[in-house]
Amino acid sequence: MTTKKLVEKITQLIFEKKGSEVKVIELKTVSAIADYFVICSADSDTHVRAIADNIDKTLRDKGIKLWHKEGTTALQWVLLDYVDVVIHVFQKDIRAYYNLEKLWGDAPIMQVEDKPTKVRASKPKTEKVETKPRKVRVVKPKMEKVETKPRKVRVVKPKMEKVETKPKKVSAVKPKTKKDETIGRNG
Q: What is the pLDDT of residues 129-161, one digit of tens each?
A: 555 555 555 455 555 565 666 666 666 666 666
Neighbour-count burial for 43-57, b at 16+ CB within 10 Å, e otherwise: eeeebbbbbbebbbe
CB 96, CB 83: distance < 8 Å: no
Query: Going by DSSP bridges, is the β-strand pair 77-81/68-70 parallel, antiparallel, or unpaired?
Result: antiparallel
Domain region containing 36? 3-110
What are the residues facing 87 on neighbouring strands? 38, 80
* Spatial distance between the Cα atoms of 158 and 156, rounded to a whole number of angstroms: 6
Residue 55 falls within a domain, yes or no? yes
Task: Give the integer Cα–Cα distance in Å for 53 and 60.
Answer: 10
Q: Please report, for the domain that includes residue 11, its CATH number.
A: 3.30.460.10
Give the chain's domain count. 1
Count CB neighbours of 94 within 10 A.
Answer: 16
22-81 pLDDT per residue, tens: 999 898 888 888 889 999 999 999 999 999 999 999 999 999 988 999 988 888 899 999
Q: Quote the pTM value.
A: 0.60
